Structure 1
């Protein structure tokens, strides 16, 4: 065991987020976290609650579906756009270490301006993910990728790059609006048991 673990010293790049700390204690700030679920599974609600519960962190929230009208948290910068060039230019202009976490909501709607749905779309989306994640690593921030399910009830465009670079992966299901709870199943994380989180 390292001396830093014995003394409880965290590495400079280690970070913890409330809501995710049930499954991840500390992870490197440059990690990619993949969170997916079906329609109305609470992905956006979960992500917005994450920003609210972590006022000491700076978030960039990218809303590709233009569904988030406003965010009242002062620690969140909202970008409503699904064009990869606009998103890339925006992220490229921020200073290194300015942002703790980029939340991309959602990967399934990340396209180029000229994109049309065909066989090449999936390759283009993978390339777009590479660009964004590489930039997040360069800027020293976590990327939380929200994703939908495809017709086979699997994460949309779960390609080799996404699989290889994902540090933790979670399935969100059974979102209950009445008691504000979401069932979270860790697919790739330390804790492999499903838990219902209340917020």
Structure 2
């Protein structure tokens, strides 16, 4: 494959528009660009989570499985962004959704049922996984907004939904494997 970017700045976006791969020019706040941006933010935060998991793996070998499951997600999120940028491009397949569901089911069985609402915290890793989860939800909402005006493939919508589910269970699994109690929500005192 040849060079993808030979020049980083083009000056074509200086007026508040950007180009899509199909040649269309859209405003930088167009729902398609908003969706691409949120998926990119998720991918960047997931990269940070993976870096933190790698740093902690020597003190908690149980984190290796999380790295193995989450690492391919960065590539699939890049594929998802590609589908958003190039509407005729189709990269995500149902097998990827099934892969996430298998991990969710396996991890959820290990952590057990949720008996209370939990807060993002307990360790940096747990909080980072929850941050990724919340960004996945934002990306899902942006994709939903785009889908309302320009239909998206069901695989794309399902994948981003499963990502947030996966990251929620990943946060709980990190707590379990680190031996850290989940931070339980406490209702405000009625007074």
**How would you bin the TM-score normalised by the shorter chain?**
under 0.3
User: TM-score scaled by structure 1?
Assistant: 0.23
User: TM-score scaled by structure 2?
Assistant: 0.24
| Bigger share in helix | 2
Rg: which structure is higher? 2
